[in-house]
């Protein structure tokens, strides 16, 4: 199953807002519709957004729509702007978009192998993860969840613990769905239980993806990642970031320079369209947080392992 692809002059992508109840696909033929799909999270995940951005430029070449709004549709994820820029700089935007799609497939396989090898060095068989970093966040397989899939295929995965990931429950809706499809042993936990369960020895390592990695190694990822990093540090277990080289943004010096998207109060005060807070309740809703580099053991990319704990930098 490919999360996003180019079929018959259109972008075809899984509508992730319908999962886990229904597996449906959207056919996108305009940049405006693609922006809408991105902003309502029908397509999400940094690598998948890179592919979407590139394919959106190919659409724009046919429809005449501007690409600037597409590039800015989700400001924290560097891959979206990168994909737009890559395709826009090519004489044949569609050819470059398809290259980016295929490069993502190869990158996920490489990250899975490198990450699983590194975890084997730590004798880690029980892992904890947040949000969704599987095939739904890429074209296929995934970043952090791709490592878990590789461990499962090698027969060394004892258990994956997935955080539900409030407020939109990507862990419960998407990661648990992907883990079940691959037949991997897993349990779902509430977000606030993660650090405590690490302290009690429930996992041997924490794996997260990334939406942007600064030049010093600070990493922006789904909200809740920072608290897991603090818990992992206290528990003395490795904390690994799994992301392609394209997510490293050397133009951003530190995490302080990363713009963090706030998605508004509605996602916090309601759940599935049902109000869970009194009328008029205000909310803060940062979609991402930033984990400082000194809490990260290593960044695993498709090309290398960057040991931040040994003083290496991206």
The per-residue DSSP string of 205-249 comes to EEEE--SEEETTS-EEEETTHHHHHHHHHHHT--EEEE--GGGEE
Cis peptide before 187 (omega within 30 of 0): no
pTM of the model as a whole: 0.96
**Distance, CA of 306 to CA of 314 (rounded, Å):** 7
> What per-residue confidence (pLDDT) applies to 277?
97
Q: Is 188 exposed, middle or buried (0-12, 13-18, 19+ CB in 10 A)?
A: middle
**Which pLDDT tens digits describe the chain residue by residue (314 residues)?**
899 999 999 999 999 999 999 999 999 999 999 999 999 999 999 999 999 999 999 999 999 999 999 999 999 989 999 999 999 999 999 999 999 999 999 999 999 999 999 999 999 999 999 999 999 999 999 999 999 999 999 999 999 999 999 999 999 999 999 999 999 999 999 999 999 999 999 999 999 999 999 999 999 999 999 999 999 999 999 999 999 999 999 999 999 999 999 999 999 999 988 999 999 999 999 999 999 999 999 999 999 999 999 999 99
What are the C-alpha distances in Å from 157 to residues 134, 147, 150, 179?
16, 10, 9, 12
- The answer for residues whose C-beta is within 8 angstroms of residue 50's C-beta and 6 or more apart is 79, 80, 82, 83, 100, 104, 246
Task: Determine contact, residues 47/143, Cβ cutoff 8 Å.
Answer: yes
β-bridge mates for residue 306, sequence order: 299
pLDDT on residue 153? 98
Q: Nearest 5 degrees, angle CA 45-CA 51-CA 57?
A: 130
Q: Which CATH architecture has domain 4-103?
A: Up-down Bundle (1.20)
What pLDDT, on the 0 to 100 scale, is given for residue 284? 97
CB atoms within 10 A of CB 166: 18
Q: Of 134, 186, 173, nearest to 271 (Cα)? A: 173
144-154 helix and 93-121 helix, angle to the nearest 10 degrees = 60
- Annotated binding-site residue numbers for substrate: 44-46, 74, 170, 221-222
Active site residues: 211
Q: What is the pLDDT of residue 1?
A: 82
Task: Please tell me the CATH superfamily of domain 112-310, with its number.
Answer: Translation initiation factor eif-2b; domain 2 (3.40.50.10470)
User: Helix, strand or coil for residue 16?
Assistant: helix
Give me the residue label for tokens 């079940």.
Answer: 180
Identify the H or E element spanning 271.
strand 270-271
Sequence ranges of the chain with CATH classification 1.20.120.420:
4-103
The single-letter DSSP state of residue 262 is B
């Amino acid at each position: 199953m490919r999360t996003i692809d180019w079929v018959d002059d259109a972008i075809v992508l899984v509508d992730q807002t319908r999962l886990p109840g229904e597996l449906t696909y959207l056919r996108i033929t305009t940049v405006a519709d693609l922006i809408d799909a991105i902003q309502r999270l029908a397509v999400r995940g940094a690598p998948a957004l890179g592919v979407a951005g590139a394919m959106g430029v190919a659409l724009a070449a046919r429809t005449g729509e501007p690409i600037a709004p597409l590039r800015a549709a989700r400001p924290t994820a560097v891959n979206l702007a990168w994909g737009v820029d890559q395709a826009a700089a090519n004489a044949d935007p569609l050819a470059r978009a398809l290259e980016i799609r295929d490069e993502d497939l190869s990158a996920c396989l490489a990250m899975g192998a490198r990450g699983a090898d590194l975890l084997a060095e730590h004798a880690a068989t029980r892992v904890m993860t947040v949000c969704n970093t599987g095939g739904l966040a890429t074209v296929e397989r995934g970043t952090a969840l791709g490592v878990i899939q590789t461990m499962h295929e090698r027969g060394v995965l004892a258990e994956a613990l997935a955080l539900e990931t409030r407020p939109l429950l990507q862990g419960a809706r998407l990661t648990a769905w992907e883990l079940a499809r691959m037949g991997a042993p897993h349990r779902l936990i509430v977000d606030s239980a993660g650090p405590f369960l690490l302290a009690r020895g429930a996992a041997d390592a924490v794996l997260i993806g990334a939406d942007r990695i600064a030049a010093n190694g600070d990493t922006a990822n789904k909200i809740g990642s920072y608290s897991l990093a603090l818990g992992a540090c206290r528990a003395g277990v490795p904390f690994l970031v799994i992301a392609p080289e394209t997510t490293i943004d050397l133009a951003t010096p530190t995490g302080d320079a990363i713009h963090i998207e706030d998605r508004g109060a509605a996602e916090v005060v309601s759940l599935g369209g049902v109000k869970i807070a009194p009328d008029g309740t205000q909310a803060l809703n940062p979609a991402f947080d930033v984990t400082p580099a000194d809490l990260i053991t290593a960044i695993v990319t498709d090309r290398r392992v960057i040991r931040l704990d040994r003083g290496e930098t991206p």
